[in-house]
A and B are shown apart, each in its own frame.
Chain A
């Protein structure tokens, strides 16, 4: 195809060549967010609110004060982990819709280690052992939960999209059983399905006195760096990306494709499990039924918005956290229900996923590598 780039002068050519990657990696997501905000503003106006007031409220609520900043970081912590989980799977050519179930399973396991070790078995551990133990088992539970659909994909061809969704419902059913039954908070005043509080020794402390933001946020940032290192600086990461880009080529290059698929899913589940673990050990100090709902889809949106790159994922997670956190202030100022945030986020996802629409509106050309997910169902 004859592009205008070939006809342009050398100077324009070099500028274009310099700008194109930047436009591709930053431009489309930013324009997608912008477009979604504009469409969202129209919706707010139609619903009888003042869009400018709404967005000012959103910004104030998210970044306006130290407390707001702290709460945004609190929201961002699980989002970063869950977003990284989906992004890592995408890099390996897998679509993990099951972050929600893996997160719930990790949270249940972390809560179990947190309260049952001292409560049931009377093992009192110092914090420097108890906290890593709870986090480790929570992450492991998530990894295991994701490895099942991974193995089904690798060895039977069962499509991971449907299998991870099914695993979500199984996890929801099982946590509902556990939190209503054996793991239910025995406090007679308790009427909801939740676990008892975890022991003091299993709690991750806050970063600053008086604020809820905790070390889990720092851990999330550190894990983002680890994921980047793993994907781009290790053999394992190279194998994951190769299998994701072209499984046939990977096979001829001598990579064990099936093992890599299971491993990718397990790592992805591990990250999702960490999201649940952090919520339990650093924030709520217990697991409550239904808290995990919605994280899976948010994580997909975050991964796609962040272009499946750890840096992008962190930025996208902070954006989504800011919207969730600032939504309350927005509702206070404009009487528009917080649920509008879900609409805006869905629009962001729409425009990021269908980047062709954004390219069409803003006349950005060029394509880049894209992950092929639709490969037919079943075995």
Chain B
């Protein structure tokens, strides 16, 4: 990832932030708006960051994964379900149930990662179709179970959605969170903090450990890796499963950290945008994180404008800026894929099954 692209990312984020400052009410100081924007950007970029890291592990090992969306959706549902079961059926306290829910979300993601590797590594199914299968399967299963468990008479919760144990609490980073105004940026929830830590960890693992070197070699030139005794199949399995677990953690963000409820299709394309973030980050952890922040900023703009903007006359209500800004992440993704903003160079063996 070159500095030009980081510059481009900073430029886009600056534009998005200035839009909020410009449209925002005059009596609110820009510092407050920018701080709020930064805090929201970092928070809403979490599933994108984790999804992008998922894609990173998979593709660095040579397996294309467009099933991130489905992995996150399924993990969001099963993590939430597990936390409710622990809380209401087994009578556990809210906090342990939430942590248990996160564990289940990670497990769900890992299992779907296993499914993806069975399909694409063992059965050598076209990896894009394999990913699509996971996406469709996740929509079907979560929709079915959501209805079957919560909205049918005679189901376990008797047709009512039970009380969820809430969301993960905020963690104030000592010292930093005490700074006036700006301190709000360092007041985040655990999955968000974990995602940032995982960016650094992934960078270290991929570029400074033996595991990372082997992963990359399997993704660049599996035959050469095989010749020197690296088990290509095992490396691919392990990395896709690790990736799935990261996507699972990203899924937990939706139902255990953001809001305490589940809706069908709630991931709403975030998995695909995460994939685009990974591509824009040129298959590097820091690049992917930076790109995730761009998409996060576009979403944060929509959220923050609701608080900071002057109210608009009702006859113009339909012409909301959210429609225009709402398009930004998608248009940006398409722009990035054209390669105009620097060339995207995937791992050489990305998407190719390894035939021994």
Contacts and interface: CB of A to CB of B under 8 A. Distances in A.
Interface stretch (B100-108, B164-172, B338-346): B338-346
Given A158-B338, A159-B337, A166-B330, A342 B139 contact: yes
Given A162-B276, A376-B346, A377-B350, A339 B128 contact: no
A339 B350 contact: no
Given A354-B119, A374-B352, A376-B351, A176 B141 contact: no
A343 B318 contact: no
Interface in A302-316: 304
A339 B330 contact: no
Nearest to A176: B323
**Chain B CB within 10 Å, residue with most, of A168, A294, A347, A378:** A378
B66 interface: yes
A297 B330 contact: no
Interface string A231-257: 000000000000000000000000000
Interface string B121-146: 00111111110110111011101101
Contacts of A301: 136
B74 to A, nearest CB: 11
Given A161-B128, A353-B130, A156 B338 contact: yes
B144 A297 contact: no
Contacts of A346: 133, 136-137, 139-141
Contacts of B136: 297, 300-301, 342, 345-346, 349
A46 B339 CA distance: 49
Contacts of B337: 152, 156, 158-159, 162-163, 377-379
B346 A378 contact: yes
B93 interface: no
A230 interface: no
Interface residues of B, number: 55
A162 B333 contact: yes
A372 B265 CA distance: 29
**Chain A CB within 10 Å, residue with most, of B64, B141, B326, B337:** B337
Given A177-B323, A343-B140, A297 B346 contact: no
B129 A373 contact: yes
A180 B279 CA distance: 34
Given A304-B129, A353-B133, A377-B350, A342 B140 contact: yes
Interface in A69-112: 95, 97
A169 B318 CA distance: 18
Interface string B317-356: 0110001001100110110111110011110001110000
Sorting the interface of chain A by its residue count into under 10, 10 to 19, 20 to 34 or 35 or more gives 35 or more
Contacts of A300: 132, 136
B126 A297 contact: no
Contacts of A371: 126
A119 interface: no
**Chain A CB within 10 Å, residue with most, of B66, B144, B152, B318:** B144
A170 B327 contact: yes
B39 interface: no
B154 A335 contact: yes
A181 interface: yes
Given A162-B275, A166-B334, A374 B344 contact: no
15 contacts: A161-B128, A165-B272, A170-B327, A170-B330, A174-B323, A177-B323, A181-B319, A297-B139, A301-B136, A342-B143, A345-B140, A350-B133, A370-B126, A377-B64, A378-B344
Interface of A: 47, 95, 97, 149, 152, 156-159, 161-163, 165-170, 173-174, 176-177, 180-182, 184, 293-294, 297, 300-301, 304, 335-337, 339-340, 342-347, 349-350, 353-354, 356-357, 370-379
Question: What are the 7 A-B residue pairs with the smallest beta carbon separation, nearest first?
Answer: A379-B339, A378-B344, A342-B140, A374-B351, A158-B337, A181-B318, A339-B144
